[in-house]
Amino acid sequence: MALSVDIKVEDIEYRKISNQTLKARMYRPNGPGPFPAIVEVHGGAWISNDRTTNTPIHEDLSKNGVFVMAIDFRMPPDFLYPDSVRDINFAIRWLRKNDKKYNIIGSSIGLLGTSSGGHQAVLNALLPYNPFFSDAPSAYQSEGPDVGYVIACWSVLDPSARYQMVLDRGIQRLIDAHHAFWPTVESMEEGNPQKIVEHGIQERLPNILLLQGTKDDNLTPDMAERFFEAYQSVGGNITLEKFPLQPHAFIGKNPKSSASLKALSMITRFAHDEAARVK
């Protein structure tokens, strides 16, 4: 289906697994290409939302020459951590295998994630070849699941610290979300980007752009700063952009605000800069 004269949008089935059919919404820019490409991972406290959640981000990127694959993935109650991370890992392999079909630069695929999707995107980017996070069939094993960069927006970069915060504040819906996604408290530590970097067990250090509002009551106040400092300390290239007075998920709440327009411009510029760096 055509969204505008500038892009083409279509839904495709990219995976069938565990009696589930997973869809992706593909945003194709017009033009000669090849295009930079992003696999996008939506938020929703790990348990809700779908590939349409961040449509303003998808549309802005694609209208500015970036191909976007916005994915659905397995979620509770039927599926727990790390099933969704495995779907993200597979989606990168799938897109790389289909790079010519979609006229993209297969070597410069990046990840973009928001909130819990940001957590999962960064986790996959840090440990792309960890066998625990991959269940790709043999036909896709030769396609690398690593990425050169991640754009992480208001992301749960330390799920253990966020869990303690919601326990302390009695935020029951988020307590329930943690319990629904994570099999154990110990698994929260295992799949914790902050701890992975602090312990130096990452496989890759992709370039990272962090976007964070200063009025985000969904995360601990220092979550982005702590990850920024830890990532720098192990030699990672990371940029933290703060948006004064902006709440959690501010782009989706008001895509036309000055803060959202600034953030969207940063996202697009970062994607293009990273694609140019790889080329």
pTM (2 decimals)?
A: 0.97
The domain segmentation of the chain, as residue ranges, is: 7-278
Indicate the average pLDDT of the chain: 96
Is the pLDDT score of 3 beyond 80?
no
* Helix, strand, or coil (residue 52): coil
Split at pLDDT 50, 70, 90, the class of 279 is low
Share of the chain above pLDDT 90, in %: 94
**Domain 7-278, what fold?**
Rossmann fold (3.40.50)
Looking at residue 48, the DSSP 8-state letter turns out to be S
* Helix, strand, or coil (residue 15): strand
CA neighbours closer than 13 Å in the CB half-sphere of residue 38: 33
**For the segment 69-115, what is each residue's pLDDT rounded down to a tens digit?**
999 999 999 999 999 999 999 999 999 999 999 999 999 999 999 99
**For the segment 126-171, what is each residue's pLDDT rounded down to a tens digit?**
999 999 999 999 999 999 999 999 999 999 999 999 999 999 999 9
Split at pLDDT 50, 70, 90, the class of 278 is confident
Q: What is the pLDDT of residue 1?
A: 33
- The C-alpha torsion from 273 through 276 and 278 to 279, rounded to 10°, is 180
- Measured CA distances, 216 to 53, 154, 209 (Å): 18, 8, 17
Mention every residue, 6+ apart, whose C-beta is less than 8 A from residue 173: 45
- Calpha distance 240→207 (Å, rounded): 11
93's enclosing H/E stretch is helix 83-97
**For the segment 177-211, what is each residue's pLDDT rounded down to a tens digit?**
999 999 999 999 999 999 999 999 999 999 999 99
| Identity of the residue numbered 125 | A
Q: What is the pLDDT of residue 6?
A: 74
Q: What is the pLDDT of residue 133?
A: 97
